[in-house]
Amino acid sequence: MSDKTTLIDPLLAQVRIVLVETSHPGNIGAAARAMKTMGLSQLCLVNPKQFPCAEATVRASGADDLLARAHVSETLEQALEGCGMVYGTSARSRSIDWPTFSPWDVAQRVLHGTEDAPAEALRGEVAIVFGRENSGLDNEELELCSARVLLPTNPDFSSLNLASAVQVLAYELSTHSKRGQAEVHNHVDETYDPLATQGELQGFFAALEKYITDIDYFDPAKPKQLIRRLHRLFNRASMSRSEVQILRGIITAANKAIGK
């Protein structure tokens, strides 16, 4: 296993994406690609219209290992064998008496759990089931699900593409996974170019104020509103030391140009 591979949260390997009676093989390939970009690996196909298929491989665009390892079954029951939690997806709210979660909630429950319960992926395999392109999941299939995922869509146009729906769930799982978090933190924490110190900033502000006074842009006898606005602007930019040096360099050259 490479170092990179170990960055994927092993809990993601516990998640099955189950596609029921997919009509277009291109959608199967696109779903595999969506999964792999987000670190998911278990694809289950229930009675696909056409599989394997060249179009699926093309649309997988490098995620063909997921297609090769895909588990194909005749029925949804078979695809769910051994699973703990099963989520059925829907783009519209169809039932009132069913626990319904957002994709964010699902990722949270699967990978982190709730106040009352540990991560679902620690307690068994989790399935997320996606229905047919045109008609979704039927009632019998929904009965096999423990809960519903409701994808938030435009009430005037809820026709989410199948692979896009997979993408949204996979994305939420990825951002809730441990790798996702580690990456974001690393990114924020790494400081290659050190930030300017307050002293360096004050030195820059003083030089700027003196220069704009010298060129009669600013009158120090008048209120300091302009100076405050400049401070606010440059403070907001969180400048690095080297950026402050560039701006100091410009002011030095500008002073030379006016003989100061």
Interface pick for a second copy out of 58, 68, 143, 158 (rule CB under 8 A): 158
Is the CB of 138 or the CB of 241 nearer to a second copy?
A: 241
Interface pick for a second copy out of 42, 90, 108, 174 (rule CB under 8 A): 174
- Site residues for a second copy, 50-109, by CB under 8 A, read 61-63, 91, 93, 96-97, 100, 102-104
Q: Taking the complex as a whole, how short is the minimal distance between the CB of residue 175 and a second copy, in angstroms?
A: 5
Which region, left, alpha or beta, applies to residue 62 given φ > 0 means left and ψ of -120 to 50 means alpha?
Answer: left
- Taking each helix axis from N to C end, the angle separating 162-176 and 25-37, rounded to the nearest 10 degrees, works out to 10
- Site residues for a second copy, 128-157, by CB under 8 A, read 150, 152-157
Interface pick for a second copy out of 36, 121, 131, 204 (rule CB under 8 A): 36
Distance separating alpha carbons of residues 18 and 172, to the nearest angstrom = 17
Question: What torsion do the CA atoms of 217, 220, 226, 231 make, to the nearest 10 degrees?
Answer: 110
- Site residues for a second copy, 180-219, by CB under 8 A, read 180, 183-184, 187, 190, 192-193, 212, 214-217
Q: Does 20 bind a second copy (CB under 8 A)?
A: no
The number of residues that bind a second copy (CB under 8 A) is 75
Site stretch for a second copy (CB under 8 A), options 13-21, 80-88, 119-127, 225-233? 225-233
Q: Does 226 bind a second copy (CB under 8 A)?
A: yes
Is the CB of 75 or the CB of 159 nearer to a second copy?
A: 159
Interface pick for a second copy out of 115, 139, 140, 253 (rule CB under 8 A): 253
